[in-house]
Structure 1
Amino acid sequence: MHPTLDTPSRKAHWLPLALTAQLVSATALAQDAVPTEVYFGNLHVHTKWSFDGYINRAVSEPDDAYRWAKGEPIPGFGSDEPRQIGAPLDWYAVTDHAAYMGVLPLMEDPDNPVSDHPLADDITGDDPAAAFQAYSQILTSMFDDKREDPLLGNRALKVNVWQRVIANADEHYEPGKFTTFAGFEWTSAPDWQNLHRVVIFRDTETLPETPFSTLDSPVPEDLWRWMEQQRSQGSELLAIPHNGNASDGLMFPVEESYGGSAVSSEAYAEARMRNEPLYELSQIKGTSETHPILSPNDEFGGFEIWDYTLAATATPPQHKQGGYMREALIRGVGLTRQGHINPFQYGFIGDSDTHDGAAVIEEDNYTGKFGFENAPQHRLDGPPGVNEKAAEQVRRFSSGGVAGVWALANTREAIFDAMMRKETFATSGPRLKVRLFGGFGFDADSMSGDHWVQAAYQNGVAMGGVLNQAPEGKAPVFLISAMKEASGANLDRIQIIKGWVDDDGEPHEQIYDVALSDNRHPDEHGNVPAVGNTVDVARATYTNSIGDSDLNTVWTDPDFDPALPAVYYARVLQIPTPRWSTYDAAALGRAIPEGLPATIQERAWTSPVWYTP
């Protein structure tokens, strides 16, 4: 039995002992400190200061990116139409690649030494083919040769660019109104398999002289050791892994990590969870909740699957296990049952991975991931000179996700602390509001009254929390609340996804439809009628004549076994709406490219609640 983290607002919230001392300052809330507001934002944002952003025609710098998130129009590549978000975000972080951060744009300056680089003329020239070839040489040195270009990696240059990154974040920070974070992306891709992490700092008071890049080490354990060194020097920081679907099974290793650590070892699990409380579940390169191969009985499990590695080919990854979150969550529960510490006890966020400053999260306002996609015909066909395999990957990009954070205020400290508590949820883009609480002291009336949220904190745990030892075998009760985005689509249903491992070591998952719109009910076989579909594909329109604006429910696990550890999270589905590619096809007056869905059911996923006997 693990020792308890006993705080007034987190009853039955358990953590391994070695983690408790590290995380208590970030997780503890005062008795009367109850988050009542959700704040939406993105942490995974690249600009032309990222080598791949620049090569792919990004025109936005960090200053442009922050202005876009605040609601200002910014220019795009090759278009007279500015890009502008429909409604401003609450917080934002520009996290360009640490490797060669800000260097390629400097090649345009003849007075800067990097303009003399042998590849500079090709990189800054007007020939896309030559620029891509130069780009490939840089990537090869990073991912294959594991070596750093001495001119592009000049330390003085690194320090200067990093200071400019910090200054940009500070300039746009408006506590209480708009929050920014200093951060970067650590871009490890062994054999083009994605192990990327975004690294975020709580404040800008004590920061390292330079960020840590894949050229320092491509091994996650080395990144975590570097993060520990920063803590010893006064920094507070976290890392967020992403794109497990593109890792070919490396993101959530089954037995041994890419760094050689045994997944079941206490040191590995503690280091991973101390440094990485959250996982980026959905972004432009698809959703990595689950895959139909892993969850064949999940009728909604094939949502926005981007089934590629980071290579320039369209070859799907061979290993689904180790690449998707749900499977890793359940495997982590199995490790708990064996007496190990769970290395995959993640909360969820959605994010962008835009490479042109603007995290374009709205299907009807999508302007692409890269600068070369700003024109709709290039999003559907690929830019001139791009082969069909690359064009296919571009067409299958999602519009990107967004993170919802239940925090005490719109400040760096409050949002960072909420992320450490895992009081977060992911969406595929819409800003619907979702809450999940679990506990043994709830009943059918626990969501009634004006102060039910305050009572929920006192009598259970919020999403991201852990329940321990069911009293007298009593099943846990969950409170789930969901509200549509004000200008968005109605809701179809709320589901609870449960995962566990049985006595024979076999993993299991079960999906429960716990709240349905339009007064629908399952039939005698448990089948739920579809919500319907109002989408006019030719016009790329829909109506809210079906579905509900909000759904709330109290649900008790009917199959609870108090002896078995389990993990639970909520998934909220919207009614069908047009995909971005449907909007583009309608705007161009042409058919949707073959293989793309005409409609999607956008959704939200809460951070889980774990039960550990």
Structure 2
Amino acid sequence: MKAKRNSSYLSKSALWALPVAAILYPSISVSQIVTTEESAASAFPAEAYSPYANRSIPIRPLWGETHLHTSLSLDAGAFGNILGPDTAWDFAKGKKVTSSSGLPVKLSRPLDWMVLTDHTDLMGFAPDLQAGAPGVLADPKGREWHEGYKKGGEAAGKSAFDLITNFAQMTLPESLLKAYSPGSDEFAFVWEEIVEAAERANDPGVFTAFIGFEWTSVPKGFNLHRNVMLRDGASRALQVVPPVTQPPYGSTDPLELYKWLEAYQEKTGGRAVAFSHNGNLSNGWMFPTKDTYHGGVVDEDYVRQRAKWEPHYEVTQIKGDGEAHPFLSPEDSFADYENWDKGNLDLTQLKTDEMLKGEYAREALKQGLALEEEFGINPYKFGFGGATDSHTSLATAEEDNFFGKSVSVEPSPTRIEHPFIASDLGRVEGYELVASGYTAVWAEDNTRKAIFDAFKRRETYATTGTRIGLRFFGGWSFTDEDLRSRALAEAGYAKGVPMGSDMRPRTEEAVPSFLIFALRDPIGANLDRIQVVKGWMDAEGALQEKVYNVAWSGDREADADGNVGEVGNTVDLEKASWTNTIGSSELMTVWVDPDFDAAERAFYYVRVLEIPTPRWVVYDKVRFGIELPEEAQLIHQERAYSSPIWYTPQK
């Protein structure tokens, strides 16, 4: 395992001498390494023989999902989803269920927690659409959509997309809008159903079920959705009804969502946060800067409210990966990963290069530094997470177990032929869907309070569906010796801060050092490399970025610019498999920033890459015996993204 200059690593013999799981998840170990120079007294402090007796740090990542839809959501139901919240919760807990298309399905491993986020607009309409309720059939559009749903297949898909387009363009029939908006009995009944299902599923210490919803702002088809998570139970959640975006019952302006969140906390004494939806279908509106955005301008009130209510960002999901884009990061050879950059949600407006800076996480983090310089508040100081945004009630994010975005593209020999979006301006093909992603949370225990609080402090990381273990700490005095301890995390918390934090005040002439450890998914692929992504604002106010290779597998050497060659490729496209004969099962380093300037605002986050593996379309090819389009991407490198750590110059 190689590491770049200013990096430290253990030899392979030393690595294997240390049980890897114990380094990453210290609670798992049952003994303590004692060198010949150490006494028993120094290794086992007198106040506690057991080194774990007084430990209060997070001990393992809890894996979960922040964005999933059931049959109660308008679009999910229109596409044929018949699975309600109880089935979604059962599936997340690891139970085998039957999909809406009649297929048996089960996760490879249960999740630890989930937020169920059905759309609030037209809440309750989807089940009535499926059933052909009198109120739906009384409206000409309602009858048209119901007839399309009954026909199934392509007709159902066209009907569903027409419904979505009417929603995005705010041309829904007034009678239907009134019947399924706040103030109607149907809206209230469905909200109660959502809340009570989460209460039934919640099992503190075993599985955490969060009450939540998706706020579905999509002006002009520009996707500005937010997912909302409540820390509370039914006694607080049922004191309110969730907000909507369709006028006259709601607004598409995020400031109105923030007002609802404030009112919820004031009325109930509860806690709530919002997560920005992956922004790559927002046509530049997800991360506005000084330019006017719909509904207002980016001023001190906007940055203050967004910083308060949105501590988390959905960086990867089924509709593409939103970490970086090659137009914005031309020097980053791994930025071109599952980018969706064609247009808005319904492809009624195509993308321009100027829009991209308002859509991708890395650019937003950089813009946040500039806004903080101006307003004293960084609205884009968010942690990272991944989600599926599946509308099947099934939180599947693994390549060999991918059930798609909607019922119409659940596994079948023809599903890659169905475009996700098709308009007169272009198409997003079915094979472009992404089997992504999940969120890992470093929480003290598996409860609503502990996980919610971890989100608030941004101690989370995203993956594209793999379950890589990742620790990332920033400080001023990490050394090689910290890698030799079985209690790596203890050193991280004692000498620094975890992912999602601000660096502690700088002492004298210290330079930032980072303690980083990554462990492969136990049933997944080996690791290719660890990279640190740095963004900063220079003395002239220009925003800069650089990607550093800091640890990698094999005997590759970095060139003078720090570039490391490809890890290799063992993928067998005929069998949809690969071998772990390349890469490493774990990588670790202490990295010191060689370009640090104490006067410059900066952020750092970690990106971990696996070795190449097959995409989900290759598994379909082998299972169904189908031919894949030449344009379909067959191989990729799955990855994890840590939440950033920020450095702010001292005044």
User: TM-score scaled to structure 1, two decimals?
Assistant: 0.90
SS of match in other structure, 1:435: strand
TM alignment of 1:408-557, pairs within 5 A: 408-557=444-593
- Corresponding residue for 1:43? 66
Letter in 2 for 1:255: K
Q: 1:136 to 1:37 in 2, by over 3 A?
A: closer
CA–CA separation in structure 2 for the residues paired with 1:389 and 1:77: 31
Task: Give the drift of 1:474.
Answer: 1.5
SS of match in other structure, 2:609: strand
Counterpart check, 1:214 vs 2:245: yes
Of all paired residues, the percent bearing the same amino acid is 40
TM alignment of 1:110-259, pairs within 5 A: 113-114=135-136, 116-125=138-147, 126-128=150-152, 131=156, 135=160, 138-145=163-170, 149-153=177-181, 155-204=184-233, 205-207=235-237, 208-215=239-246, 216-233=250-267, 234-256=269-291, 258-259=293-294
Runs of 4 or more consecutive aligned structure 1 residues displaced over 6 Å after TM superposition? 383-391
CA–CA separation in structure 2 for the residues paired with 1:348 and 1:310: 22
Letter in 2 for 1:439: G
Counterpart check, 1:382 vs 2:418: yes
Aligned pair partner of 1:285 in 314, 319, 325: 319
Aligned residue-pair number = 581
Counterpart check, 1:306 vs 2:340: yes
Task: Give the drift of 1:132.
Answer: 5.2
| Structure having the higher Rg | 2
Q: 1:390 to 1:431 in 2, by over 3 A?
A: farther
- Corresponding residue for 1:272? 306
Letter in 1 for 2:85: P
Aligned pair partner of 2:331 in 292, 297, 303: 297
Deviates more, 1:69-78 or 1:234-243: 69-78
CA–CA separation in structure 1 for the residues paired with 2:91 and 2:145: 26
Verify the 8 A CA contact 2:346 2:423 in the aligned structure 1. no
Aligned pair partner of 1:99 in 121, 136, 144: 121
CA–CA separation in structure 2 for the residues paired with 1:251 and 1:144: 18
- Corresponding residue for 1:7? none
Letter in 1 for 2:151: D
Deviates more, 1:482-491 or 1:97-106: 97-106
Q: 1:291 to 1:281 in 2, by over 3 A?
A: same
Cα-to-partner distance string for 1:205-235 (whole Å, 9 max, x where unaligned):
3124311111211000110011101111112
Cα-to-partner distance string for 1:158-180 (whole Å, 9 max, x where unaligned):
11100000011011111111110
- Corresponding residue for 2:112? 90
SS of match in other structure, 1:377: coil
Q: 1:110 to 1:377 in 2, by over 3 A?
A: closer
SS of match in other structure, 2:302: helix
- Corresponding residue for 1:33? 56
Verify the 8 A CA contact 2:500 2:644 in the aligned structure 1. yes
SS of match in other structure, 2:517: strand
User: TM-score scaled to structure 2, two decimals?
Assistant: 0.85
Q: 1:411 to 1:386 in 2, by over 3 A?
A: same
Q: 1:320 to 1:175 in 2, by over 3 A?
A: same
CA–CA separation in structure 2 for the residues paired with 1:33 and 1:283: 32
Verify the 8 A CA contact 2:223 2:282 in the aligned structure 1. yes
Cα-to-partner distance string for 1:218-258 (whole Å, 9 max, x where unaligned):
00011001110111111210000112111111000021453
Unaligned runs of 5+ in 1: 1-30
Verify the 8 A CA contact 2:518 2:608 in the aligned structure 1. yes
CA–CA separation in structure 2 for the residues paired with 1:405 and 1:464: 11
Q: 1:198 to 1:348 in 2, by over 3 A?
A: same
Cα-to-partner distance string for 1:503-536 (whole Å, 9 max, x where unaligned):
2222211111001112432134533121100001
TM alignment of 1:7-18, pairs within 5 A: none
Letter in 2 for 1:307: D
CA–CA separation in structure 1 for the residues paired with 2:497 and 2:101: 50
CA–CA separation in structure 2 for the residues paired with 1:236 and 1:385: 36
Letter in 1 for 2:241: T
